[in-house]
Amino acid sequence: MSAHSPAATSTRLSDGRELIYFDDPGRPPRTTSPDARGLPGRAEPGEVRYDELSGDWIAVAAHRQSRTHLPPAEACPLCPSTSGNLSEIPAEDYDVVVFENRFPSLGPALAELPDSLPWGQSAPAAGRCEVVSFTSSHTGSFGGLPYGRARTVVEAWAHRTAALSALSGIRQVFPFENRGADIGVTLHHPHGQIYAYPYVTPRAAQLGARARRFYDESGGRATLLGALLDRERTAGERMVLDGTHFSAYVPFAARWPLEVHLVPHRHAADFADLTGEEKDELAEVYLRLLQAVDALYDTPTPYIAAWHQAPLDTVLRPAARFHLQLTSPRRAPDKLKFLAGSEAAMGAFITDTRPEQVAGRLRSALAGIPAAAAEPSTGRKARA
């Protein structure tokens, strides 16, 4: 199973954006079709401004106001193209596809960003934003993918992490998925995104600084996330699942009503740093985790799946461990937590769910879910 190597086929859309097909192993070789839309040239990049008050970079992407918002299936940009809907994907069918976002917050320009800019100056928003379509099917969600397809997505994330990390000026690569219109999803079609930033994001910088301090204090022998994983596994009460290469738990001080961290046992930096066996297990446990989340309520639970990868920064990178933070604002069947005064203004989280109870609910849900059928993903019949 660890030899899961989907075929990656790169092509260009009519406005010059790159699109890459990741076909499940065993598919016949792909011949690409041209994008018949004749799109106008790409929009000018937005800009980034440096906020001296906080030390954070802010991307100004006013051009994104015109982007597609919740189109019906017959106008979906992520469905395969038909004569009536020339979509972003000029193909009759596909397994997984990655392409440059038509309305990017960052890019397409690539450039080194200085550490800061004076007040009143801005720089082009360098970087790259990609869309990852998990399936050619308009409905469903990641948790419903067959194992082989999820494994291909994991391979696509690894491929893109390596490629984006090598681009000029990129300092952090962030794959993520927003699921559910309640948290601002603008397309129903199951998909995620990858942002390649020209700076280390505020959250990664905060977590990275703490990880680096712990690493230094241990003389470079231990990592913070590794230590927290060990403590959670010893305590046990917040554990959700325990694998050979990955374990998941609700963190002791979870911020969100629903929050799970999925952490590798080995100190890996990012998707591209995982072994084949680790990626095999990751695809399986991630599917099970999402299925458990969706078993908590009668309706799908909105979530943010945030894949934290080590920044491309010589100081932070050695101490930062790859992991998933899966969070949801849902705190009851019909209630979402909104970030208001304390959280949004002060970053001071107040949660009204006990992490131990959330972990118990997730364990119960998992008990009702069979292990993912890790069948080899050959043959068109397995298409999701």
Contacts for 264 with CB less than 8 Å, ≥ 6 apart: 245, 246, 274, 278, 282, 321, 322, 323
Contact with Zn ion (CB under 5 A): which of 13, 78, 229, 240?
78
Residue among 191 and 308 whose Cβ is closer to Zn ion: 191
Residues 172-201 close enough to bind Zn ion by CB under 5 A: 189
Q: Which two tokens stand for residue 178?
A: 């927003």
Cβ 79 to Zn ion, closest distance in Å? Answer: 3
Q: What is the DSSP letter of 314?
A: T
Residue nearest to Zn ion (CB): 76
Residue among 138 and 245 whose Cβ is closer to Zn ion: 138
Q: In the annotation, is 63 catalytic? A: no
Q: Is 262 in the site for Zn ion (CB under 5 A)?
A: no
Residue among 134 and 322 whose Cβ is closer to Zn ion: 134
**Of 82, 71, 92, 180, the residue nearest 136 (C-alpha):** 92
Residue among 189 and 279 whose Cβ is closer to Zn ion: 189
Q: Is 245 in the site for Zn ion (CB under 5 A)?
A: no
Return d(Cα 122, Cα 114) in angstroms, integer: 11
Peptide bond before residue 108 is cis, with ω within 30 degrees of 0: yes
Q: Which two tokens stand for residue 96?
A: 């997984």
The residue count for binding Zn ion (CB under 5 A) is 5
Judged by CB under 5 A, the stretch of 36-44, 132-140, 341-349, 352-360 that binds Zn ion is: 132-140
Q: Is 89 in the site for Zn ion (CB under 5 A)?
A: no
Q: Which two tokens stand for residue 69?
A: 């918002």
Cβ 82 to Zn ion, closest distance in Å? Answer: 11
Contact with Zn ion (CB under 5 A): which of 138, 267, 361, 383?
138
Cβ 76 to Zn ion, closest distance in Å? Answer: 3
The active-site residue, picked from 159, 191, 261, 323, is 191
Q: Is 131 in the site for Zn ion (CB under 5 A)?
A: no
Cβ 303 to Zn ion, closest distance in Å? Answer: 20
Residues 200-239 close enough to bind Zn ion by CB under 5 A: none
Residue among 152 and 223 whose Cβ is closer to Zn ion: 152
Q: Could you write out the DSSP letters of every residue in 17-64?
A: -EEEEEEPTTPPPP-----TT-PPPPPPP-EEEEETTTTEEEEE-GGG
Cβ 229 to Zn ion, closest distance in Å? Answer: 37
- 101 in Cβ contact with 250 (< 8 Å): no
Q: Is 76 in the site for Zn ion (CB under 5 A)?
A: yes
Judged by CB under 5 A, the stretch of 75-83, 200-208, 256-264, 358-366 that binds Zn ion is: 75-83
Q: Is 91 in the site for Zn ion (CB under 5 A)?
A: no
Cβ 73 to Zn ion, closest distance in Å? Answer: 6
Return the number of other C-beta atoms located less than 10 Å from residue 53's C-beta.
7
In terms of DSSP H, where are the helices of the chain?
147-165, 202-217, 224-235, 276-294, 346, 355-367
Q: Is 79 in the site for Zn ion (CB under 5 A)?
A: yes
Residue among 78 and 229 whose Cβ is closer to Zn ion: 78
* Contacts of 177-180 spanning 24+ positions with Cβ under 8 A: 177/142, 177/303, 177/304, 177/305, 178/302, 178/304, 179/141, 179/142, 179/300, 179/302, 179/303, 179/304, 179/305, 180/300, 180/301, 180/302, 180/303
**Of 262, 56, 235, 252, the residue nearest 154 (C-alpha):** 262
Residue among 93 and 277 whose Cβ is closer to Zn ion: 93
Q: What angle do CA 100, 64, 207 make, to 5 degrees?
A: 70
Q: What is the DSSP letter of 9?
A: E
Residues of the shown chain interacting with Zn ion in the complex, contacts defined by CB under 5 A: 76, 78-79, 138, 189
Residues identified as active-site: 191
